[in-house]
């Protein structure tokens, strides 16, 4: 009988331990005071060592294992949520919360439970969601998921930021495609205008002296008193120190050299003035020169500039990008493009030499050219104040570089894949500027006043072949006319040859009366000048389709010329 009762007790204990439902087991433990049937179940385990029975060592070891298993189960129950049997956390959705009845659960688990049942899973007491309380207790062993939750939060923010960036990228891509199409259309128009301009230049070169004389004989000489020039706009440049003026007919832009308008980043650049809107919104662009700019030459969409900082730079003024930096041996006073081979550029130095650079010599991926391919020496120590490349035309059977310094001038004949051939030109000293006009094959040399007033001499450039030589020739000058200017020369200015209404004019600065002088050179007898008062000293001039542009130290004056 005693053996049967012991067997029944063991069976009850075995069923209680092997119950798979943790909730039911906890309900049995929590309701032990009210249930008389299962109240004596733990007693055989607690008092099993007190019974005086003879058992084997194997039976004692089995009972000890069962006690350890029960103790481990109780400890694990204190560390996991009773609903999902997962460990609690101290943050996030599964953080530890307590009901009003005092039982502990994971926050998301008890909230899901209360959606289907308003009772506590442990004691069946009524529980409301608003009564749930977070537990902040150091004695509880919980899983620290704060770093994981922060990482998840950062991941969500990153996803949101990436989504926003993707949307902005799509908008920018659409705007870029639109601008790309507009650029392509403008480039096509630009190419057409360049071809048209080139054709017009060719037509002007084809006209020889006989046809030009025929045209002039059919037209009456326009008296200087009938010239209609009136001031239209004055564009102020407060920074001052403006010295060079250039004009791009394909875009109707004026380029003026000036210092930067930012005191934090000193330097020198250009101001781009659009004549389409009357110069109402000039735009400054730095050329990264550290000293004053002395010359600007345009070729297509490229701008070549030189300065006293011993550098020469190539700048794409349509894309606002730098293409090349040439490091020169000394201060650069003038520069020029080789119009037969634009890869070759020239720098006129203050030491009386001309450095020749080849853009093809630069290494891939670099933008600095520190060595020239050749140096042309004019055998003088005076600065090279003027450089101009002359192309072969119907009136001049040669091509090369025209070089002028204060006390010596010459012509370097360009022979591809060979050395330059020098031709001395009989031009006096005190030269201030040289300007060659390919349409009339005229060379204008301006001289500063010394003991006599300033003068402007107009020459014809002549090539004379050498006897018994088909390729060699001599370049010489023939003086056509001399124009007497002002007796005062405050600043170094440039004089130009312009064509307007089938007439040829000499335009020069008049520092004595603070104005501009014009001479009509179609007939040698027409030597009286037309003066334009400017109230300032002019340093450079250029002619556009409708305007005569005059540059002073701190302003650009646009004169309507009809």
Torsion sign, CA atoms 416, 421, 425, 428? positive
Least confident of 99-103, 397-401, 463-467, 504-508: 463-467
**Strand 133-134 to strand 96-98: parallel, antiparallel, or no bridges (unpaired)?**
antiparallel
For the cut 60, the answer to whether the pLDDT of residue 349 exceeds it is yes
Q: Look at the block and give the residue holding tokens 């096509």.
A: 188
Amino acid 177: pLDDT? 85
Say which CATH class 229-561 falls into.
mainly beta
User: Order of strands across the sheet with 104-106?
Assistant: 104-106, 96-98, 133-134
> 114-142, pLDDT tens digit by residue?
999 989 998 999 998 888 888 876 555 65
- pLDDT value at position 280? 81
CA 373 to chain centre: 31
Helix, strand counts (H, E) of the chain: 7, 32
In this prediction, residues 64-69 reach a mean pLDDT of: 51
Residue 207 pLDDT greater than 80, yes or no: no
Are 77-142 and 229-561 in the same CATH fold? no
Longest dimension (CA), the chain: 157
Q: Does domain 77-142 have CATH number 1.20.140.10?
A: no
Instruction: Give the pLDDT score at 56.
Output: 45
Is pLDDT at 308 greater than 90 in this prediction?
yes
Whether the Cβ atoms of residue 529 and residue 483 lie closer than 8 Å to each other: yes
Does the pLDDT at position 531 exceed 70?
yes
Torsion sign across C-alpha atoms 12, 15, 16, 17? positive
pLDDT computed for residue 346 by the predictor: 96
Contact 245, 254 (CB under 8 A): yes
Of the listed ranges 199-208, 364-373, 483-492, 538-547, the least confidently predicted one is 199-208
Q: What is the pLDDT of residue 178?
A: 85
Q: Inform me whether the pLDDT recorded for 77 exceeds 70.
A: no
pLDDT of 30 > 50? The answer is: no
Q: Mapping DSSP to helix (H, G, I), strand (E, B) and coil, where does residue 42 land?
A: helix
Q: What are phi and psi of 215, to 5 degrees?
A: -65, -40
Q: State how far the Cα of 463 lies from the Cα of 460, in Å rounded to an integer.
A: 10
Categorize the per-residue pLDDT at 158 as very low, low, confident or very high, splitting at 50, 70 and 90: very high
How does the average pLDDT of the chain come out, rounded? 80
Q: Which of these, 316, 334, 332, 333, lies nearest to 324 by C-alpha position?
A: 316
Residue 187 is predicted with a pLDDT of: 79
Burial of residue 162, with CB atoms counted within 10 A of its CB: 0-12 exposed, 13-18 middle, 19 or more buried: exposed
**280-301 tens-digit pLDDT:** 888 889 999 999 999 999 999 9
In angstroms, the CA 405 to CA 375 distance is 16
With 0-12 CB in 10 A as exposed, 13-18 as middle and 19+ as buried, what is 551?
buried
pLDDT at 120 (0 to 100): 93
C-alpha 33, offset from chain centre: 84
Indicate the domain borders of the chain. Answer: 77-142, 149-181, 229-561
Q: pLDDT tens digits for 370-382?
A: 889 999 998 888 9
The full DSSP string for 53-114 is: ----HHHHHHHHHHHHHHHHHHHHHTTB-TTT--B-BSSSTTBEEE-TTS-EEEHHHHHHHH
Q: Between residues 451 and 247, which one has the greater pLDDT? A: 247
**pLDDT above 70: percentage of residues in the chain:** 78
The predicted pLDDT at position 452 comes to 81
Q: What tokens does 352 get? A: 């009386």
E strand or H helix at 431: strand 431-437
Lowest mean pLDDT among 3-12, 171-180, 426-435, 507-516: 3-12
The DSSP letter of residue 359 is: G
Say how far apart CA 42 and CA 12 lie, in whole Å.
10
Split at pLDDT 50, 70, 90, the class of 206 is low
């Amino acid at each position: 009988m005693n053996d049967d009762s012991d067997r029944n007790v063991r069976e009850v204990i075995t069923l209680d331990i092997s119950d798979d439902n943790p909730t039911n087991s906890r309900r049995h433990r929590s309701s032990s005071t009210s249930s008389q049937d299962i109240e004596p179940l733990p007693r055989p385990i607690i008092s099993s060592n007190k019974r005086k029975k003879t058992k084997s060592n194997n039976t004692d070891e089995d009972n000890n294992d069962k006690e350890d298993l029960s103790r481990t189960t109780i400890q694990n129950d204190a560390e996991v949520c009773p609903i999902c049997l997962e460990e609690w956390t101290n943050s996030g959705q599964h953080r530890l919360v307590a009901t009003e009845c005092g039982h502990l659960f994971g926050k998301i688990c008890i909230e899901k439970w209360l959606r289907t049942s308003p009772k506590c899973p442990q004691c069946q007491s009524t529980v409301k969601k608003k009564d749930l309380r977070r537990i902040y207790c150091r004695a509880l062993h919980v899983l620290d998921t704060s770093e994981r939750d922060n990482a998840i939060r950062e991941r969500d923010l990153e996803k949101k930021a990436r989504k926003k960036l993707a949307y902005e990228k799509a908008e920018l891509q659409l705007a870029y495609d639109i601008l790309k199409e507009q650029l392509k259309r403008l480039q096509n128009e630009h190419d057409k205008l360049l071809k048209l301009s080139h054709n017009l230049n060719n037509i002007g070169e084809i006209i020889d002296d006989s046809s030009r004389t025929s045209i002039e004989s059919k037209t009456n000489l326009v008296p200087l008193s009938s010239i209609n020039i009136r001031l239209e706009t004055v564009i102020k440049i407060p920074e001052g120190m403006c010295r060079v003026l250039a004009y791009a007919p394909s875009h109707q832009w004026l380029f003026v050299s000036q210092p930067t308008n930012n005191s934090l980043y000193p330097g020198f650049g250009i101001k781009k003035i659009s004549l389409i809107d009357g110069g109402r919104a000039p735009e400054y662009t730095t050329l990264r020169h550290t000293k004053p700019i002395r010359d600007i030459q345009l070729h297509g969409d490229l701008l070549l500039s030189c300065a006293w900082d011993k550098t020469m730079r190539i700048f794409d003024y349509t894309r606002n990008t730098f293409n090349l930096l040439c490091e020169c041996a000394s201060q650069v006073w003038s520069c020029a493009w080789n119009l037969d081979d634009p890869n070759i550029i020239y720098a006129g130095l203050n030491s009386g030499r001309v450095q020749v650079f080849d853009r093809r010599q630069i290494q891939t991926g670099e933008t600095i050219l520190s060595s020239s391919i050749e140096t042309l020496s004019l055998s003088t120590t005076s600065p090279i104040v003027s450089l101009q490349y002359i192309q072969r035309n119907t009136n001049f059977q040669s091509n090369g570089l025209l070089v002028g310094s204060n006390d010596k001038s010459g012509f370097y004949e360009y022979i591809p894949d060979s050395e330059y051939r020098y031709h001395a030109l009989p031009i006096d000293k005190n030269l201030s500027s040289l300007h060659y006009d390919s349409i009339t094959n005229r060379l204008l040399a301006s001289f500063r006043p010394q003991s006599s007033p300033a003068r402007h001499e107009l020459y014809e450039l002549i090539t004379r072949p050498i006897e018994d030589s088909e390729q060699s020739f001599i370049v010489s000058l023939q003086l056509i006319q001399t124009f007497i200017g002002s007796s005062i020369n405050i600043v170094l200015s440039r004089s130009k040859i312009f064509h307007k209404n089938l007439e040829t004019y000499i335009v020069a600065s008049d520092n004595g009366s603070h104005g501009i002088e014009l001479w009509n050179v179609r007939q040698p007898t027409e030597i009286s000048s037309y003066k334009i008062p400017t109230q300032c000293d002019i340093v450079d001039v250029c002619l556009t389709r409708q305007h005569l542009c005059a540059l002073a130290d701190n302003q650009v004056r646009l004169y309507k010329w009809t």
